[in-house]
Amino acid sequence: MTKKQLQEEFSALLIRSSLRGKFEISEVVEAHNLTFIHAATLCLLEPGKSLPMNSLSTFLGCTPPNVSSIIERLVDESFVAREESADDRRVKTVSLTTEGLRLREELLRVAMSIRLPGIDTLSKSELDSMIAIFNKATQDIQNPFQLYSK
């Protein structure tokens, strides 16, 4: 295989594993009558911290009106609180409510329990190598928790 073909194969594997994860948490998401983007938003919010909505917009790749709609639904379901920033009244921030924290923990628990078929067949050395390679390949992807350091 050429380097380009290998890169495409790697991308395809990432997509397949991401879709598997999305499928695995869909039961929890649907039980709360939400969508995957609502779940992703809840998982991006750190307990005890407020995040500007424009940071969510940037990370999710959504327009501000889309993020407003997502947040509105989460506010209506009492999963998040939306407030004006203490520093700038024009900036709206969101934070998890107690109910939102419970759902976030449930979503993360399910997500962390996902095992790809065959992962148990890999040795510790293979897993170490795979993680190192994956980290190198994705180093330019913004860590969602860096959203808070701005």
In the chain, where the domains are located: 8-149
The rounded radius of gyration (Å) of the Cα atoms in the chain is 18
Q: Which residues of the chain have pLDDT under 50?
A: 149-150
Query: Smallest Cα–Cα separation from 92: which of 52, 56, 64?
Result: 52
Structure pTM?
Answer: 0.76
Q: What is the pLDDT of residue 150?
A: 46
Q: What is the pLDDT of residue 73?
A: 96
Query: Smallest Cα–Cα separation from 20: which of 133, 141, 116, 139?
Result: 116
Indicate the fold that domain 8-149 takes in CATH. Answer: Arc Repressor Mutant, subunit A (1.10.10)
Helix, strand, coil content of the chain in percent (nearest 5): 65, 10, 25
- Asked if 99 contacts 78 with a C-beta cutoff of 8 angstroms, the reply is yes
Q: What is the pLDDT of residue 142?
A: 59
